[in-house]
Amino acid sequence: MRRLPVLLLLTLALSLAGVHTAQAAAGTYTALGDSYSSGVGTRTYYADSGSCKRSSYAFPVLVAQRTGTQLTFAACSGARVADVQNNQLGSLNASTAYVTVSAGGNDAGFSNVISACARPWPYTCTSEITTANNTIRNTLPGRLDSLYTAIRNRAPSAKVIVVGYPRVFNGEECNAFARISPGEQSELNKTADLLATTISARAAAHGFSFVDARSAFTGHAVCDDTEWLNGLSDPIAESYHPNRTGQSAGYTPLVAAQM
């Protein structure tokens, strides 16, 4: 009988004893994207990140800590798809092991749409939602294709994980100074669904993984008992973004599971 190497014997013994060796995702990791990746909503940002508002509480930092990867944190608040493509891909190369990217919400003008929905009665945001939906259907797919192709060309061996957006609302009105009616909230959530299916389809077409955040944030929307998303906030830029728990309990385990 051939003798098994000592390391293999040790591994088998630990496994049989119920002890599992830690599996760290090796290599370099670049986080691309917009405010949902940079960590807007967590209220604490690296001083040198300026208007990009990168946070130590953002999921890229937490994922890198959990998986043992070396992070290049390029995500920037306010970034559109073209901004990611033109300004954030510099660190990608043949040795990049992992890439995460969230992009598309700003192209649809989601923050402006929510601002329009928050106007007092009798104003509605029907036209703004329609415009956003048309952009998602007709314009966003081509922009994503261009970005995803550029990522693959620069990082041919990387596992690319496309990170989606949650539904923000649960149908309740709880913010006195932001009158977003239940009907408007329902339509905004439908827009979030359209955004998710559109981004997921383009990710799949490029062979990328997709992290769907909608289920994880169900029960933790704005006005839920335990919010993972900020409602109307001061300063205003913190509004309708994941808070620290949304980043740590919502996004981090979903993304880390893909690495």
Q: Which amino acid is at 66?
A: R
Active site residue ranges: 35, 241
Amino acid present at 175 = N
